[in-house]
Amino acid sequence: MDDTVIFTRPVVTVEEIQQGWHELKLRVDQLEAENDALDTEGKALRFLIERVIEHRQKSHSELVILLTSLVTKLPINDVGVVISKLVEHNAAVSEMCAALAKGKADTTMAQPALLKALDQTKQELTNGIKLAIEELIHLDPPLEPGLLRGLALKPDLFFTPGVVRASRCYVKGQLPRERILKSFGEEALGCFNDMTTDAKRNPRPKAEEIVLSFRNDFEALLQQLPALPADQRGALQVLHQQVQRSKAATDEARAQKNIFYKLSFLLELLHYYENQSTEAPDVIFASRLPVLIEQLILPGGEDRLDEKLILQAEALLAHIISPDHRLMVVNNVGKTGETGRTLKYVLRFRVEENAAQNPTVLNEIIPEFIKHLIPPQKPPPASVLVSLLRMVRPELQRLIVRSIMASDRLRKETAETLGRALGQELGLVGLEAELKVSAFASLESEQQIAWQKIKGLIASRSEPSEIAAAIRDRLHARYDAEEAKQSWITLTEAEPISLIRVFCQLPYLADGRTDPVARAVMETYVTRLMHEKYAATYHKVLNSLKNMFKANAQSPTLLNFVALVKWLDAGAAQKLSNDLGMAT
């Protein structure tokens, strides 16, 4: 039998409990106070953490906005892609910060202006595509309505082989072979000509690449197909009428083609903006879109411009976000003929903002436009030029007419007469006065440029003979008191030794003869040199000559300079010799 030990709990008396109660109460009170302090500290720490996370979120958003504004100024093609990545990164950071703090983001980052414009443009393009599709279907073209409505839901279908082939066939008045087989069966192929199969060039084309065109005797051939059901016979006849209407030179056919070109433009542009990371801008803006613009404004190679069609083209070009891309489209228009080139200049003048203040437009585009419009000595009728200039902005009309009046492609009398006629038709006043002011301004500009080149030769320490030849050439090109004064000022701004050496080389031509113009100018130089107004210049020259005299009294430059002064003015030479201490 095991021995079991039983412990009995000691009995606590009431007096002992009353003695320990006060100590227990003090400990509980102390623990509650510590708990309250920890709770308060925890709330304060949470508040600080939330403030830090919120500050981090806002500062990161501001940093992303600054980066997007800087990125938009870079000359890169995938600006939109870079900005999209920055915005996505900022959204991820905001979500993480919100999850750490409150579980959701209170504020969203302000969207960059470029992304706003991109989203708005995409929405406008999508809406424009839907409207163009409905307009095209309403005009009843020989295109399947289901195919067109599918483009409204999935615009990228426009670039699939089937839709591309159907579009090309529509433009050429043809039909894909697979459409005829699907809708009418092989019995209907006898009513068509095979436009793809060729015994020499393409003897075995792929079945899906064959295109057909209605035969000229279609009506008679249709009657010889009794196996074709009546409903299909009627549908085939309707399709024939649709193709013939689209091929005819009528306003209805023209309207169909215009809507189709607009739809193609919008689809091409939307595809680029949806796929900027993979699509090269040169392909779409320099190749595809210019062709569509030209086909819209000049259908069938017309030799005149219609301002209504130009307005439609401008509405399409307005969807292009980048001004550089817009100009790229315009500059690549007009590669098919003279009217196309005229269209390019007109669009350039209309599309570019602040064209009248653009030096490229003033100095390059307008002269090229005049050269294109006016053959040498054979000006077109004023009525033709007026109709073109009315399509240009008013501030550019005056500049173009003024350039025509000053053009060297016409005799002065003819150019001024043509300019007056154009100004009268366009309501331009004061052209001749502006032309005189412009001519004076151009002369001043030409003078400044010429003497700046000579100053550059002096500054680069070119040979004195080269500098003297440049001065003589300028004086021969334009010889008057103002040019002579400018030549003297140019020499006085140079070092004294340069003035002396150029002065010694100035009268001698390459063949050894004396230039009479140079002598007349040099006489004014000596007169000015001895005048009290140029006393500072005289003292500088004198000091330089004295240094030469001390170093070598027989210096060729010194003797030549004194001899030339004596040749021009004996009294001035006497004064110079006395100041130098030389024998006369």
DSSP H helices in 213-322: 218-223, 230-247, 251-274, 281-283, 289-297, 307-317
Q: What is the pLDDT of residue 66?
A: 65
Which is more confident, 238 or 208? 238
Residue 9, sorted as left (phi over 0), alpha (psi -120 to 50) or beta, turns out to be beta
Element (H, E) at 325: helix 323-331
User: What DSSP character marks residue 209?
Assistant: G
Q: What is the pLDDT of residue 319?
A: 93
Average confidence (pLDDT) over 129-147: 92
Q: Is the pLDDT reported for residue 99 higher than 70?
A: no
Q: Is the pLDDT reported for residue 134 higher than 90?
A: yes
Which is more confident, 64 or 459? 459
- 8 A C-beta contact, residue 86 and residue 67: yes
- The rounded percent of the chain whose pLDDT value lies above 70 is 84
pLDDT band at 110 (very low <50, low <70, confident <90, very high): low
Q: What is the pLDDT of residue 256?
A: 92
- The rounded percent of the chain whose pLDDT value lies above 90 is 19
Average confidence (pLDDT) over 16-41: 80
Residue 112 corresponds to which tokens in the numbers above?
A: 């960059």
Q: Is the pLDDT reported for residue 422 higher than 90?
A: no
Q: Is the pLDDT reported for residue 447 higher than 90?
A: no
Output the average pLDDT for the chain: 82
Element (H, E) at 212: strand 211-214
- Single-letter residue type at 453: K
pLDDT band at 579 (very low <50, low <70, confident <90, very high): confident
Half-sphere exposure of residue 567: CA atoms within 13 angstroms, side-chain side:
15
Average confidence (pLDDT) over 335-361: 84
Q: What is the pLDDT of residue 440?
A: 45
Q: Is the pLDDT reported for residue 500 higher than 90?
A: no
Average confidence (pLDDT) over 354-363: 77
Q: Range with the lowest mean pLDDT among 14-28, 172-186, 246-260?
A: 14-28
Residue range 183-216, pLDDT digits in tens:
888 888 888 999 988 888 888 888 888 899 998 8
Q: Which of 100-104, 286-290, 304-308 has the highest mean pLDDT?
A: 286-290
Question: In the chain, what are the domain boundaries?
Answer: 14-101, 115-197+205-269, 452-580
Q: Which of 245-259, 393-407, 542-556 has the highest mean pLDDT?
A: 245-259
Residue range 217-232, pLDDT digits in tens:
888 888 887 777 888 8
List, in sequence order, every residue forming a beta bridge with 202; answer none if it has no partner. Answer: 198
Q: What is the pLDDT of residue 101?
A: 62
Average confidence (pLDDT) over 272-292: 88
Distance (Å, whole) CA 366 – CA 344: 12
Average confidence (pLDDT) over 469-490: 81
Q: What is the pLDDT of residue 263?
A: 94
Q: What is the pLDDT of residue 131?
A: 94
Q: Range with the lowest mean pLDDT among 77-91, 319-333, 492-506?
A: 77-91
> Pseudo-torsion of CA 63, 65, 68, 73, nearest 10°?
-100
Which is more confident, 311 or 549? 311
Residue linked to tokens 């995409």: 122
Distance (Å, whole) CA 306 – CA 367: 24
Q: Which residues contact 188 (CB under 8 A, 6 or more apart)?
A: 180, 225, 228, 232, 236
Statement: the pTM of the whole predicted model exceeds 0.75: no
Average confidence (pLDDT) over 358-385: 83
- Single-letter residue type at 262: K
Q: What is the pLDDT of residue 445?
A: 62
Q: Is the pLDDT reported for residue 56 higher than 80?
A: no
pLDDT band at 135 (very low <50, low <70, confident <90, very high): very high
Q: What is the pLDDT of residue 428?
A: 76
pLDDT band at 84 (very low <50, low <70, confident <90, very high): low
Q: Give 142-164 as a DSSP string.
A: SS-HHHHHHHHH-GGGGGSHHHH
- Single-letter residue type at 294: E
Which is more confident, 174 or 304? 174
Distance (Å, whole) CA 199 – CA 189: 19
Average confidence (pLDDT) over 81-101: 67
Average confidence (pLDDT) over 155-169: 91
- Work out the number of other CB atoms within 10 angstroms of the CB of residue 564: 20
Average confidence (pLDDT) over 273-293: 88
Q: Is the pLDDT reported for residue 82 higher than 70?
A: no
Which is more confident, 170 or 410? 170
Q: What is the pLDDT of residue 156?
A: 92
Q: Is the pLDDT reported for residue 36 higher than 50?
A: yes
Q: What is the pLDDT of residue 513?
A: 77
